[in-house]
Amino acid sequence: MLEAQAFPSATQQFVSREAICAVFGETYDPVSWQDWRWQMRHRLHRLDQFEKLLSLTPAERVGLTMASQRFAVAVTPHFAALMDSEDPNCPIRKQVIPREEELVAAPGDLVDPCGEDQHMVVEGLVHRYPDRVLLLAQDACAAYCRYCTRSRLVAQGDLNALPKRLEAILDYLRAHPEVRDVLISGGDPLLFSDDRLDALLSAVRSVPSVEFVRLGSRVPGFLPQRITSELAAVLRRHRVWLSLHFSHPRELTPEVAAACDTLADAGVPLGSQTVLLAGVNDDANTLRELFTGLLKLRVRPYYLYQCDPVLGTSHLRTSIAKGLEIMGQLRGFTTGYAVPTYVVDAPGGGGKIPLQPPSVVAHEGETWVLRNWSGRLFTYQDPPQA
């Protein structure tokens, strides 16, 4: 196995595993630490728990105090151990520790930025694109990103349990044979037991028109202990494509590398989606390191998302101009496999719109003037039209 790195620097004060276990009155045990159910039982939720591990800022204290009234907080011990205890601008910490800024509603902020609710044809099934649907499997995640697009649904307890919804979902799929592609997300479907996930995938695969099944998950980064050979066998049996989510190279730990190896060795195709986040990954060097690191783990960078305008997330969003600048510093400066498509998921339900630095400089008749990755201009001549 090719090991990933944790990308530490000499000045970073990582939270120790021993300190995390002590929060729960336990002694660090490496066997327990590798048990994904132990990790889920020992997630960090409360201000008093984080106070024992981090030098909290006033803004973080307010965020943690108000979190119960806004959007849930949960951080797995695995992910918490990657945080810098002294630096509030730590890129891991900024993703999962709420701040006072979440209470600010900026112009353009939306509760449902992607317009999913208006395209929800039955509870938990969103049909926005002609041949694709989104199946919301559940409302729980291993940890909660502060920029979550579905914060209105995730961890809110408003989504009925899947068994109560599944028959209506299957009826809709059978009645709409134009649907060929089902993305199962939520909440995180990899938090289901192997048996429950197997049953869900079998049910979706039973619909004759369904050709592709994808799972969206951040479990391999938040909870790599969950990725077992048994789980990988379930995914392989149903020919599932897996869309992962990584935001920073520090997340590519040896445990994550082992999880990705287990999946890739089982023949599960792996792609990654990254959200562009201010102060976390909004520079070309960080993203280049992340994307090339993912390739080493056989994970293809697929999308770089402009952060959705979720209510209370303006402090985490960059400008589109910044995103285009970064893309211009990636393309041509690293292998094309490591350059994802930069997209905006159009607010209000318009779907994904690809963005790239301007490459067509001029066009007249059959002549095109094009700009390459280094800024040089080239002419391309169309063939004569009959």
Distance CA 134, CA 120 (A): 9
Q: What is the pLDDT of residue 2?
A: 46
**CB-based contacts of 43, cutoff 8 Å, min separation 6:** 74, 75, 76, 77, 142, 143
Distance CA 131, CA 173 (A): 11
For the segment 271-287, the average pLDDT, to the nearest whole number, is 98
Q: Which residue has the higher pLDDT, 168 or 9?
A: 168
Active site residue 141: yes
Distance CA 307, CA 146 (A): 11
Distance CA 69, CA 38 (A): 27
Type of residue numbered 218: R
Tens-place pLDDT, residues 47-87: 999 999 999 999 999 999 988 778 899 999 999 999 999 99
Quick one: what percent of the chain has pLDDT higher than 90?
84
pLDDT category at 153 given cuts 50, 70, 90 is confident
Tens-place pLDDT, residues 312-362: 999 999 999 999 999 999 999 999 999 999 999 999 888 999 999 889 999
* Mean pLDDT score across all residues of the chain: 94
The residue with tokens 């910044």 is: 322
Identify the active-site residue in 145, 147, 198, 282.
145
Q: What is the pLDDT of residue 1?
A: 45
Does the structure show a pLDDT above 80 at 3? no
Residue range(s) in the chain whose domain bears CATH number 3.20.20.70 = 117-355
Identify the active-site residue in 146, 308, 317, 331.
308
Q: What is the pLDDT of residue 44?
A: 98
Yes or no: say if 292 and 283 are a contact pair by the CB < 8 Å rule: no
Type of residue numbered 240: V
Active site residue 129: yes
Give CA 48 to chain center in angstroms: 28
pLDDT category at 32 given cuts 50, 70, 90 is very high
Q: 260 among the known binding-site residues?
A: no
Write out the two tokens for 224.
């790599």
Identify the active-site residue in 21, 90, 114, 141.
141
Distance CA 100, CA 108 (A): 19
Yes or no: say if 164 and 172 are a contact pair by the CB < 8 Å rule: no
Q: 90 among the known binding-site residues?
A: no
Active site residue 308: yes
Write out the two tokens for 246.
């990584």
Count of Cβ atoms closer than 10 Å to residue 285 Cβ: 12
Distance CA 362, CA 131 (A): 35
Mind spelling out the 3-state secondary structure of the chain?
CCCCCCCCCCCCCECCHHHHHHHCCCCCCHHHHCCHHHHHHCCECCHHHHHCCCCCCHHHHHHHHHHHHCCCCCECHHHHCCCECCCCCCCCHHHHCCCHHHHCCCCCCECCCCCCHHHEEECCEEEEECCEEEEEEECCCCCCCCCCCCCCCCCCCCCCCHHHHHHHHHHHHHHCCCCCEEEEEECCHHHCCHHHHHHHHHHHHCCCCCCEEEEECCHHHHCHHHCCHHHHHHHHHCCEEEEEECCCHHHCCHHHHHHHHHHHHCCCCEEEEEEECCCCCCCHHHHHHHHHHHHHCCCEEEEEEECCCECCCHHHCCCHHHHHHHHHHHECCECHHHCCEEEEEECCCCEEEEECCCCEEEEECCEEEEECCCCCEEEEECCCCC
Identify the active-site residue in 17, 61, 70, 132.
132
Type of residue numbered 104: V
Distance CA 216, CA 146 (A): 17
Q: 148 among the known binding-site residues?
A: yes
Active site residue 345: yes
Identify the active-site residue in 150, 214, 250, 331.
150
Q: What is the dihedral of CA 226, 151, 60, 14, to 10 degrees?
A: 20
Active site residue 145: yes
Q: What is the pLDDT of residue 12?
A: 62
Tens-place pLDDT, residues 232-261: 999 999 999 999 999 999 999 999 999 999
Active site residue 352: yes
Does residue 308 come out as left (phi exceeding 0), alpha (psi in the -120 to 50 range) or beta? beta
Identify the active-site residue in 17, 70, 128, 236.
128
Write out the two tokens for 141.
């995640």
pTM of this prediction?
Answer: 0.93
Distance CA 45, CA 24 (A): 12
Kindly indicate whether the domain formed by 117-355 is annotated with CATH number 3.40.50.300: no
Q: What is the pLDDT of residue 52?
A: 98
Give CA 126 to chain center in angstroms: 18
Identify the active-site residue in 148, 226, 250, 288.
148
Distance CA 286, CA 91 (A): 11
For the segment 36-49, the average pLDDT, to the nearest whole number, is 98
